[in-house]
Amino acid sequence: MLKNYLLMAVAILVANIALAQDTKQKTTRLTDSVREVYQVLKTDKNTKQGLYQAVYGEATPVAAGSYHADNRVGIWRFFDSHGRLLQIYNYDTQKLEFEAPEVTGSDLHYFADVTIDSTDVVTKPIKIGGRYYGFIPYLKLFRIPLDIWDIDKTTYTAAVELLISPMGRLAYYRVHILGPDGYDRVINMNLTLPNQEDKIFFPAKKNGEPVACRIVIQARITGRGYIDFATNNTGAP
């Protein structure tokens, strides 16, 4: 038995050494506050292979998992900006293994497009990637239009609005720019901009039946004209 364990350990070590020889580490900036650290093939720098981690700030992981031939594989864990576990998803079995309950003061709000009474059981739409990392793509695609670039970005806010169909697909994608004196400008985003995987959700359900649901993400406008989650306190995503 000991011999078998030793052979297994040697095999794992050899595999890791071979992988290290075939790949190199790459770091890119996902947002102003999140960077990605991952391995790519030496022969193709666009193909992810091996461990992946997205890090908020200096050292807080918000996503961790592995790639094989540029596809996510195995167990992935997703966290909020404080490092609290939000979700576990198994890409091999395509099974959601854990979803943390909502917290008071979250930047995400849900509005089912159906009538609901006190006896109904309603569940929210779920994005693979969790309520922080999973929604970064919708924030990073937007930048303040040039015609309002000079607004006071400390007095204006933003709200990202997503409509998720009963089929679990992104149906529309809008950004509201909100300012003093009731200013509310709606910008309809091009649905071809998000990647295909960012258009797929587990749909909301009412009494077990899929229904349409809007997700509204409260956001702030950064000094560089991008948008980011509104808060980083205990109610942050």
Which helix (H) or strand (E) element contains residue 149? Answer: none
Does 3 have pLDDT greater than 60?
no
pLDDT score at 14: 42
Q: CA nearest 228: which of 141, 103, 145, 104?
A: 141
In this prediction, residue 17 has a pLDDT band, given cuts at 50, 70 and 90, of very low
163, 199 Cβ separation under 8 angstroms: no
For residue 10, the Cα-to-chain-centroid distance in whole angstroms is: 37
Rounded Cα–Cα distance for residues 62 and 77 (Å): 8
pLDDT score at 210: 97
pLDDT score at 104: 80
pLDDT score at 13: 40
In this prediction, residue 21 has a pLDDT band, given cuts at 50, 70 and 90, of low
Q: Which amino acid is at 104?
A: T
Q: How far is CA 219 from CA 2, 49, 154, 182, 212, in A?
A: 56, 33, 12, 17, 23
Does 7 have pLDDT greater than 60?
no
Does 121 have pLDDT greater than 60?
yes
Does 233 have pLDDT greater than 70?
no
Q: CA nearest 163: which of 208, 195, 204?
A: 204
Under DSSP, is residue 28 helix (H, G, I), strand (E, B) or coil? strand
* Residue bearing the bigger pLDDT, 88 or 20: 88
pLDDT score at 52: 97
Does 6 have pLDDT greater than 60?
no
Q: Which amino acid is at 97?
A: E
Going across the sheet that includes 44-56, the strands are: 23-29, 34-41, 44-56, 60-68, 71-79, 85-90, 95-99
94, 100 Cβ separation under 8 angstroms: no
What is the mean predicted confidence (pLDDT) over 108-112? 95
Does 142 have pLDDT greater than 70?
yes
Name the H helices within 111-236: 136-140
In this prediction, residue 149 has a pLDDT band, given cuts at 50, 70 and 90, of very high
pLDDT score at 20: 53
Rounded Cα–Cα distance for residues 82 and 13 (Å): 33
- The mean-pLDDT minimum among 72-76, 135-139, 158-162, 232-236 falls in 232-236
